[in-house]
Structure 1
Amino acid sequence: MDTLESLRRKADGAADLKSVVRTMKAMAASNIGQYETALSSLKDYSDNVVLGIAAYLGNNRPDRSSIPDFTPKKTPTSIIAIVFGSDQGLVGQFNDSLTGFVSNKLGELPGEKKVWAIGERVGLLLSDADFEPEKLFLVPGSVQLISPLVGEILIEIHQHSAEFENPEVYIFHNQPKSDYGYTPVVQKILPLDENWLDSFIKTKWPSNNLPQVVGDPKRTLSALIREYLFISLFRACAESLASENASRLQAMQRAEKSIQELVTDLGFKFNRLRQSSIDEELFDVVSGFEALKD
């Protein structure tokens, strides 16, 4: 049975927990802001890279041999699935929904699958779904740590491409919605194909002054493609981190609501018990007074 002291301890504990939840909410909101700022800055750089590739393809319609990692006529020997998840908890269904999405998409693709997981928690879920991660990377804790992670992944892709001819590389991650929440998405970044070429050729130059490619055209295109791959991975990681913090923010909002309801309920119980105790004491006083009077 609850006592006044036990109810007071529970109320104090709930108040302390509510303070922690508010702090986590503030941190999640702050993190969302920095990742959104990074994505906004990345867009300008990405637009310049796209225009550079479009400028090259506008002057040169290259054959397959002139483009690095361009699709050969052979079927792919392996599929690399890069999955951006979470290392930390309190993110709701962030990792679970992404794991289900990855399982469904990879089940539709033929060939040998190799999964690279960014995040220990999503790696465990992928293992439970019979997609044991071949490589596991740590989730970057800030915007400054995204670039080193992307560089490490690009090195691994290059080494894998040298070992296995013509791998298909897919990026899986959660993408923030414009209104609320997030949704899992997938992007194929390698190998480069005719659709990839056409998407850049259709890009219009923003002015009437047509560009010219300076220097070795093949080296120029190779550098632009490397930047295109870097941007694709960087964007996926930043969007995943923004979605993770948005999911954590939602979880903290639900937790704060539950704690507030608990505090209110404890307050009602405490007041009822205290009033009952006061009534009993008053009854004892009145009874004693009546006994002494008689």
Structure 2
Amino acid sequence: MSHTTADLRRKIESAADLHSVVRTMKAMAASSIGQYEQSVLALGDYYRTIELGLGATFRLTGPAEAQADRAPAQPVTGAVVFGSDQGLVGQFNEEVADFAVHTLSSWPGELQIWAVGERVHGRLVEAGLVPTGHFPLPTSVAGIAPLVGRIQLESDAYRARAGESTLYLIHNQPRASSYRPVSRKLLPLDDEWRATLSSQPWPTKLLPEVLGASSHTLRSLIREYLFISMFRACAESLAAENASRLAAMGRAERNIGDLLVELQGDFRRQRQDGIDEELFEVISGYEALKSADHRIP
């Protein structure tokens, strides 16, 4: 299909504008990856502090009291699945949703799912796993803590009513320039993990002392442990989302660049053809006038 030079010029301008938008989105995605990765790193010291507190409390309370803080076993399993609200992320939501479906299908009993992100919510519904709750994703690090607070309130309220005994996190985790879907069990607390924390020595000679009821301290520390785990999962998911968007925008930038080269080549050829045609008409007119002059007596 042939195009005029005016049509090609409009296509080139549109492609150039789109190329500029894609480059801007790449820069924003790269910047977002950095802030979410930094937020995960910043949790390291706090997470270590909570682990030390849990280890000290486990040593004081003993297995029986620690077990008492765990919900009774019930055939109901809860899972929080993190996806995205926005598109242009490749197969990000499809992969984590398919992973969730494959993983959850092997768990016995009733399933209760909380979806974080509009896109992954739609994918889970299509797969027949209708989430109990649905949360929008934050647009910055500052919005992660309020989101995690809402998830904790809703999941705790449901656990209080249904006696739910297990809780999992499912999300995409960054891996170099890519990502992979992972799952992690938060509740009930893993026996081996609890034993490992209990056996860790205190880093100083000043041993800690639990004030008040040790069961209250234990529940508070467990709640902080759940908060940090969800915060980290959300931040890692957002970093992986932006990494996926960065890769998608990179592919789009290359495709638009190739299209621009092709359009500019077509424009130059079209323009040269027009110039050649005009020159041919001028030469033909000159030759016709020259022949007419020779015929004049």
TM-score with structure 1 setting the length: 0.94
List runs of 5+ in structure 1 lacking aligned partners.
none
Relative to structure 1, is the Cα distance of residues 205 and 197 closer, same or farther in structure 2, using a 3 angstrom cutoff?
A: same
Q: Any stretches of 5+ residues in structure 2 without a counterpart?
A: 292-297
Q: Is 2:233 the counterpart of 1:232?
A: no
Distance 1:184 1:105, change over 3 A: same
Tell me what 1:167 maps to. 165
Q: Tell me how many residue pairs correspond in the alignment.
A: 290
Partner of 2:122: 124
> 263, 277, 281: which is aligned to 1:280?
277
Aligned to 2:294: none
Letter in 2 for 1:192: L
RMSD (CA atoms): 1.6
Are 1:182 and 2:153 counterparts? no
Q: Taking structure 1 as reference, are residues 214 and 66 closer, same or farther at Cα in structure 2, changes over 3 Å only?
A: farther
SS of the residue aligned with 1:62? helix
1:7–1:266 Cα contact (<8 Å) kept = yes
Aligned to 1:245: 242
Letter in 2 for 1:271: R
Alignment-derived partner of residue 149 in structure 1 = 147
For residues 239-260 of structure 1, what are the alpha-carbon distances to aligned partners after superposition, in whole Å with 9 as ceiling and x for unaligned? 1111111111111111111100
Q: Does 1:293 align with 2:294?
A: no
Q: CA offset at residue 218 of structure 1?
A: 1.9
Counterpart-to-counterpart distance in 1, 2:260 and 2:178? 28
Q: CA deviation at 1:51?
A: 1.1
Distance in structure 2 (CA, Å) of the matches to 1:64 and 1:77: 23
Q: Counterpart of 2:295?
A: none
Q: Distance in 1 between matches of 2:259 and 2:190?
A: 57
1:203 aligns to 2:204 (yes or no): no
C-alpha change, 1:83 and 1:98, in structure 2 (3 Å) is: same
Q: What is aligned with 1:221?
A: 218
Q: CA deviation at 1:92?
A: 0.6
Residue 254 of structure 1 corresponds to: 251
Select the residue among 212, 215, 221 that pairs with 2:209. Answer: 212
Aligned equivalents of 2:7, 2:280: Cα separation in 1: 24
1:145 Cα deviation after fit: 1.0
Q: In the alignment, is the contact (CA less than 8 A) between 1:77 and 1:164 conserved in 2?
A: no
1:94 and 1:66 mapped to 2: Cα distance? 38
Residue 102 of structure 2 is matched in structure 1 by 104
SS in 2 for 1:279: helix
Quick one: distance in 1 between partners of 2:50 and 2:240? 25
For 1:77 and 1:66, the matched residues in 2 are separated by 18
Q: Measure how far apart 1:16 and its partner are.
A: 0.3
- Seq. identity, %: 50
Q: Equivalents in 2 of 1:142, 1:125: separation in Å?
A: 24
Letter in 1 for 2:240: S
Alpha-carbon distance in 1 for matches of 2:130, 2:219? 33
**Matching residue's letter, 1:27:** M
| Cα drift, residue 97 of structure 1 | 0.4
- The code of the aligned residue for 1:270 comes to F
Deviation string for 1:37-57 (max 9, x for gaps)? 111111111111111111222
